[in-house]
Amino acid sequence: MAFFLSAKWAWVALQFVLKRREELQKMRKRGIVVVIIGGTTGLDMAIVHSVCSRLTQIETYGVHSVIITTKNETEGVTSLELLRHPTVRVGYHQLDASNKESLMAFCQHFKEQFESIDILINNAGMLPSAAELGCKGDTETVMNVNYYDAKLVTFTLLPLMAPGGRIIVAASGLAELAIRWMNNETFTKLFSETSTEDDIDGVAGGFVKEICDSSAGGKRVHDALAYPFAQASRIALTQYLGNQLKWSSRDPAMRVTACSFTPGWCRTPSGSNRAPFSAAEGAEEAVYAAFDADAETIQGSFLIGRKPARFGDGHAVAVTGNSGEAHTAAGRKTNDDTYKFATGKIATALALVARVVR
């Protein structure tokens, strides 16, 4: 009897060793490197905390690293002290996303420290107040910070991305307000499967030109649309990038994935206390896109409530296997009473923010 008991426990021990050996063989040889553009706002910091927590669940032989970047070095260093983590290495480097020299300096410093970027999260942007949305002088700044700077930093860091890496861009569901304004030609240039970088730049540049046109016929659009329009362009650029990356490798596991997501309207120290969601809840949306969502499914998509979505003609429609009812361009123009998104979470946030914008 003793012999059989010993043999049984020996078999159990062997199974455990073999299973552990298999796990170790699958384990990454180096830690995951995450770069987060922005690190001073409440949502930025919540994203860093959530990313670090998620990284602790992934076993590797190396140490995981998170690098935060800010334009203001003093603010960045202050944030770094608040973001220290016991097991994840959190670092900081100054980065002005609008300055090519600053970007190249960051790239050079990064290459001296790491092999590649596994995950790039871009949450940097400018959310103007309701009063600022009506100021003509802020229009170009809003477009530059939210679209052109996001484009510059993404395309500059793209060569540093690891095979199978992910580019995650935060965007606002308020883009829907701009989409309601667009004619069919503009909408197609932004969100068609065949849209080009020049198409998107042309639409963004045309919007700024119309805003700045002081002639009698030049005020077809309004300053309050600057932020929603910049967000629509930001989403369109990510969709374009995702469409291009689909063909970057025959092996899906080797392709870089690019997608945008909305964290919802979140309560932050610098934001409104009326927002329905906490910064931690918004940060979890970023973590899902960066770590847990299926790469092929989200490629080029705008994630709403953790579901890939496309911008339809009256509202954003989640892709759930049913393409849903098609809408006409006229429907997009007239359906102004409904801010209906695919999830209740985004619907609530958009409705509240829309009242402020108005």
Contacts of 86 by beta carbon, 8 Å cutoff, 6+ apart: none
Q: Which two tokens stand for residue 256?
A: 């870089």
Instruction: Confirm if 111 and 85 have CB atoms less than 8 A apart.
Output: no
Structure confidence by residue, pLDDT tens digits, 230-254: 999 999 999 999 999 998 888 888 9
Greater confidence (217 vs 247) lies with 247
Q: Band the pLDDT of 149: cuts 50, 70, 90.
A: very high
- Res. 335: pLDDT tops 60: no
**How would DSSP label each residue in 307-358?**
EEEEE-SSSEEE-SS-------HHHHHH--S----SSHHHHHHHHHHHHHH-
Give the pair of three-digit tokens for residue 4.
């059989």
Instruction: Give residue 208's pLDDT.
Output: 82
Q: What is the Cα–Cα distance from 292 to 74, expressed in whole angstroms?
A: 33
Whole-prediction pTM value? 0.79
In angstroms, rounded to a whole number, what is the distance separating the alpha carbons of residues 103 and 153?
A: 7
pLDDT of residue 357: 35
Q: What is the average per-residue pLDDT within 15-26?
A: 53
Q: Which of 154-168, 170-184, 298-312, 314-328 has the lowest mean pLDDT?
A: 314-328
Residue 98 has a CB neighbour count (10 Å cut-off) of: 14
Strand, helix or coil for residue 146: helix
Higher pLDDT, 346 or 176: 176
pLDDT above 90 for 267:
no
Contact by Cβ (8 Å): 157, 118: no
Cα angle, residue 265 at apex, residues 245 and 236 outer, rounded to 5°: 25
Cα 220 to Cα 171, 181, 209, 269, 271, distances in angstroms: 25, 10, 11, 36, 30
User: Rounded distance, CA 263 to CA 47, Å?
Assistant: 10
Is residue 57 within 8 Å of residue 291, measured between CB atoms?
A: no
What average pLDDT is seen over the chain?
Answer: 79
- Interstrand relation of 302-304 and 266-267 (parallel, antiparallel or unpaired): unpaired
> What confidence score (pLDDT) does residue 340 get?
34
Residue 272 clears pLDDT 60, i.e. is over it:
yes
pLDDT of residue 7: 64
More confident position, 87 or 30: 87
Of 56-65, 221-230, 275-284, 335-344, the least confident: 335-344
Alpha helices in the chain (DSSP H): 2-26, 42-55, 73-82, 100-113, 139-143, 149-157, 175-181, 184-191, 197-212, 226-245, 279-287, 295-298, 329-334, 344-357
**pLDDT tens-digit series, residues 155-208:** 999 999 999 999 999 999 888 888 887 888 889 899 988 899 999 999 998 888
CB atoms under 10 Å from CB of 242, counted, come to: 21
pLDDT for 214 beyond 70: no
Tell me the C-alpha distance between 237 and 176, whole Å.
15
Percent of the chain with pLDDT over 90: 42
**CA 159 from centroid of its chain's CA atoms:** 18
Length of the chain: 358
Residue 52: pLDDT band with limits 50, 70, 90? very high
90-108 pLDDT, tens digit per residue, is: 999 999 999 999 999 999 9
CB 203 within 8 A of CB 189: yes
Q: Does residue 216 register a pLDDT over 80?
A: no
Domains and CATH numbers, the chain: 28-357 (3.40.50.720)
Q: Binning pLDDT at 50, 70 and 90, where does residue 358 land?
A: very low
- pLDDT number for residue 311: 65
Q: How confident is the model at residue 356 (pLDDT cuts 50, 70, 90)?
A: very low
Helix (H, G, I), strand (E, B) or coil at 168: strand
